[in-house]
Amino acid sequence: MSIHIEAKKEDISKKVIVCGDPLRCKFIAEKYLKDYKCINKVRNMLGFTGYYNNELITVMSHGMGNPSMGIYSYELFNDYDVDVIIRIGTAGSYSKDIKVNDIVLATISYSDSIYNYNSDGDKSNINKSNEFVDNIIMDESKKHNIALKNIKVYSSDVFYTKEDISKKMKEEYNCDAVEMETFALFKNANIFNKKASCLLTISDSFVSNDILTQEQRETGLSKMIELALDSIITL
């Protein structure tokens, strides 16, 4: 048991899928897992462990932002000896070539956050995913007929940013989309020599007026969820 997760060590799989919204975790457990049980209710940050195609996996919520992701991924890696975490979430596109409802694989995360430095003195502002897991996901995407794109994301600490930030991140830092958690996940995986990857569905765009509704964000992301599930059980 850790500070923020009440589960016993044996109640959490070595393979974990994480997402920001606790209700999305509940949806995944109810729709896809067999013989599942709720393993965490602390702060309503719901977690569930059950069987997907006879493989034991855990689905855990992580909240919003690098600090929140940092807490849960740290405790999963350090206190529960989790081997691999795949994040599934949503992102806003900076590019006309990456449209709403596209599924992307974030392989590089740039951030102006101080998360790296405050973690271990690391002054870099780029963290990377695990190439082995990424390749598994890419292979599975072909079976799912998903045209998966590898992208670089801006992992922002601020949701309501100035209007010129998207232009700056696209033109100066070559970021394709923005989200808020991947930077901390990749950093903690690096610290503990574990594996982490991130799948994102584009929920809105800075170059069009398209947007997913709240209901679609909670329950309409089935393609990404199924890709993550089928990928993690092969590891």
Positions annotated as catalytic residues are 204
Distance from C-alpha of 232 to C-alpha of 140, rounded to nearest angstrom: 10
- Token pair for 39: 């393993």
**Class of residue 10 by CB neighbours under 10 A (exposed 0-12, middle 13-18, buried 19+):** exposed
Query: Cα–Cα distance between 222 and 199 in angstroms, integer?
Result: 12
72 in Cβ contact with 4 (< 8 Å): yes
User: Distance between alpha carbon 11 and the CA centroid of its chain, in Å?
Assistant: 21
Alpha-helical regions (H) of the chain:
22-32, 66-79, 115-120, 131-143, 165-171, 182-191, 214-219, 222-232
Question: Rounded CA gap, 155 and 163, in Å?
Answer: 16
Give Cα separations from 35 to 107, 207, 219 (angstroms).
33, 43, 21
